[in-house]
Amino acid sequence: MKFCSNCGSKVSLQVPAGDDRERHVCAECETIHYQNPRIIAGCLPTYEDKVLLCKRAIEPRYGLWTLPAGFMENGESTEQGALRESWEEARAEIHLHGLYTLFSLPHINQVYMLFRGELANLNFAPGIESLEVDLFTEDQVPWDQLAFPVMHKTLRYYFADRPRQAFPIRSETIARSKPPIG
């Protein structure tokens, strides 16, 4: 951030009075521009013993598989965001069951919120951001071609929890991946 979105003047990093961290502050109009983490809302859609995955048609991670998820929009709830993304990416209609995994990624200022849900029908199809959409049993999941660690973890938790049909919420912080040593 270089310019004030309110008045167009240059902003500078300052610690505002009563605050304890640097913000982008406009000296002209005195607006303080706070920046906060963004939510990525998504679904783990299930059908019988299978899960629905989307093959990404966009970067990053083009061609890898993911659960439908994306940035939550203003004016919607977290559940609406999860359902909207499932429709946009997989034309999937889902009965939501509740929040299942919650991941903080502080190094990129993101919070993932993934909900479990059951497919309402089998009319799924690739949306514009997907190359393919399909159902996978645990053995069929392309474990080495998943797009993001949060999706890998969510799927692992799901298949571990499913035999007991108990799905406690899983909350984790994922730190920046470290470069290999040596």
Residues 98-127 that bind a copy of itself (CB under 8 A): 98-99, 102, 104, 106-107, 109, 111
Q: Is 16 in the site for a copy of itself (CB under 8 A)?
A: no
Residue 103, both tokens: 């991941």
Kindly tell me which of 38 and 95 has the beta carbon lying closer to a copy of itself.
38
Q: Under a CB-based contact definition with an 8 Å cutoff, are residues 159 and 139 in contact?
A: no
**Closer to a copy of itself by Cβ: residue 72 or 141:** 72
Q: Does 12 bind a copy of itself (CB under 8 A)?
A: no
Short-list 67, 103, 62, CA closest to 82: 67
Binding residue for a copy of itself (CB under 8 A) from 13, 125, 131, 169? 169
Give the closest residue to 125 by CA, choosing from 115, 117, 135, 116: 135
CB neighbour list of residue 79: distance below 8 Å, 6 or more residues apart = 41, 96, 115
Which residue in the set 28, 30, 49, 73 belongs to the binding site for a copy of itself (CB under 8 A)? 73
The DSSP-derived string for 40-56 is EEEEEEEETTEEEEEEE
CB of 29 to a copy of itself, least distance (A): 10
CA–CA separation, 88 and 9 (whole Å):
38
Cβ at position 166, least distance to a copy of itself in Å: 12
Q: Is 177 in the site for a copy of itself (CB under 8 A)?
A: no
Tell me the closest approach of the beta carbon of residue 88 to a copy of itself, in angstroms: 8
Going by C-alpha positions, the residue among 71, 68, 64, 72 that lies closest to residue 52 is 68
Residue numbers at the binding site for a copy of itself (CB under 8 A) = 1-11, 18, 21, 24, 33-39, 71-80, 98-99, 102, 104, 106-107, 109, 111, 128, 169, 171, 173
